[in-house]
Amino acid sequence: MPDRTLKQKRWGRLFLALHLLLISQIVWWAIVFSRYVNSNKELKMRNAVLESQLNHVPARPITELEQEAFHQKTMFLSESAFFALIASLALWLLFRALKTEERSRKTQRNFIEVLTHESKTPLTALKLRLESIKEKLGSNPLSEDLRRALEEVRRLIGIFDKSLELNRLDRYSPTFEQVNLGELTATLLKRMEPLFKEREVKVESEVPKELWVRGDSFGLQNSIQSLVENSVFYNDSQEKKLFVALKKDQGSAVLSVKDNGPGITQSDSALIFERFYRGKAGKRVPGTGLGLYLCRQIISAHKGIIRLIPENGGAHFEIKLPLQESLG
């Protein structure tokens, strides 16, 4: 059953429980008040009889006391019923409003997903064609213009990718399996070699062939790629360097991504994992401010930790995930 359906059922059960609690509370109040009225009526009757005996006057009629008690019960029950009706109506209107809002949000999410997905298809085809033309041109003066055009297309595809990830995040349910984080990291770095070559980034890595964790391979790959891409795009040094290391540390797999760029200011460091936050460096590098936010959400879903380690120079990010010791 989809997570969204389960969530809606939980909300329905919650409102039903609140309604039952309200009704049971009103019924309890009515029973307690009726008992109080009855005991008060009996007390008044005894007092009336005692007073008549002491003063030698006729006692207050019993029917009058019973009518008074009946009016008190009727008044309380009618007010309780009215209160229960109003409270039930308010709960129903609130529940209906929440369901309407949820349907609107679902429609909006579906529209964004369709729009971004359909836009990615022609952009990907355009990127492949530009890459093919660039290879054919070789050292032609137009190749530099093509390189810049390719960079913009890649950037636009990246924006659509982040939008899709954000749209799916509230429905993100990781598929946990045994993942060789060492192999996954090494494969990712190999795949990103064209970007390193284009940006003239010298990459050093210390990644073991096997280091197993339990997690979602797609989510982990996206998280690591976001960190690596940030280290590449935000590094404006003359000799760009990137260092990626993976190791065991007390029952955890620790991945470090470090560069020799300008680093992250202290004022930005407390906010870089917030959604849409760009920081000062965002003024010179286009982006969405979603990469690190999505990265943190995914790592948190794996019961892991991602943090920025203070450095004098460059940015140093660390991901710590529970280690999968056994493959049995």
Calculate the alpha carbon distances from 91 to 11, 15, 20, 97, 102 in Å.
Answer: 12, 7, 11, 10, 16
pLDDT tens digits along 289-308: 778 888 898 899 899 999 99
What pLDDT shows up at residue 204? 94
Apex 145 CA angle, 141 and 146, nearest 5: 105
Q: Is the CB of residue 153 less than 8 Å from the CB of residue 161? A: no
Q: How far apart are CA 69 and CA 38, in angstroms?
A: 7
Single-letter residue type at 31:
I
Q: Is the CB of residue 225 less than 8 Å from the CB of residue 192? A: yes
**Residues ≥6 apart with Cβ < 8 Å to 268:** 277, 279, 280, 281
Q: Is the CB of residue 273 less than 8 Å from the CB of residue 227? A: no
DSSP, res 323: B
Please count the CA atoms within 13 angstroms of the CA of 194 that sit on its side-chain side: 7
Single-letter residue type at 267:
S
Calculate the alpha carbon distances from 257 to 180, 218, 223, 245 in Å.
Answer: 18, 18, 11, 7
Phi/psi class of residue 326: alpha, beta or left (left: φ > 0; alpha: ψ in -120 to 50)?
beta
Which residues in 138-172 are b (16+ Cβ under 10 Å) and which e? eeeeeeeebeebbeebbebbbbbbbbbbbbeeeee
- Average pLDDT over the chain reads 77
pLDDT tens digits along 126-152: 777 777 777 777 677 667 777 777 777
Q: pLDDT in tens for each of the 328 residues of the chain?
A: 444 555 556 767 777 777 777 777 777 777 777 777 677 667 666 666 666 666 655 555 656 666 766 777 777 777 777 777 777 787 777 777 777 777 777 666 665 665 655 666 677 777 777 777 777 776 776 677 777 777 777 777 777 776 666 666 655 567 789 999 999 999 999 988 988 988 899 999 999 989 999 998 888 998 999 899 889 988 888 899 999 999 998 889 999 999 998 888 887 888 888 877 777 665 566 666 778 888 898 899 899 999 999 888 889 999 999 987 644 4
Q: Is the CB of residue 324 less than 8 Å from the CB of residue 178? A: yes
Helix (H) or strand (E) holding 177: strand 177-180
Q: Is the CB of residue 241 less than 8 Å from the CB of residue 301? A: no
Dig out the tokens for 96 from the structure: 């209906």
- Residue 318's beta-bridge partner residues? 256, 307
pLDDT tens digits along 230-267: 899 888 888 999 999 999 988 899 999 999 988 888 87
Q: Is the CB of residue 185 less than 8 Å from the CB of residue 246? A: yes
Query: How far is residue 143 CA from its own chain's centroid?
Result: 42
Q: Which domains does the chain have, with CATH numbers?
A: 1-171 (no CATH), 177-322 (3.30.565.10)
Residue 213: count of CB within 10 angstroms of its CB? 23
The tokens 């300008």 sit on which residue? 262
- The pTM of this model reads 0.57
DSSP string, 54-102: HHT-PPPPHHHHHHHHHHHHHHHHHHHHHHHHHHHHHHHHHHHHHHHHH
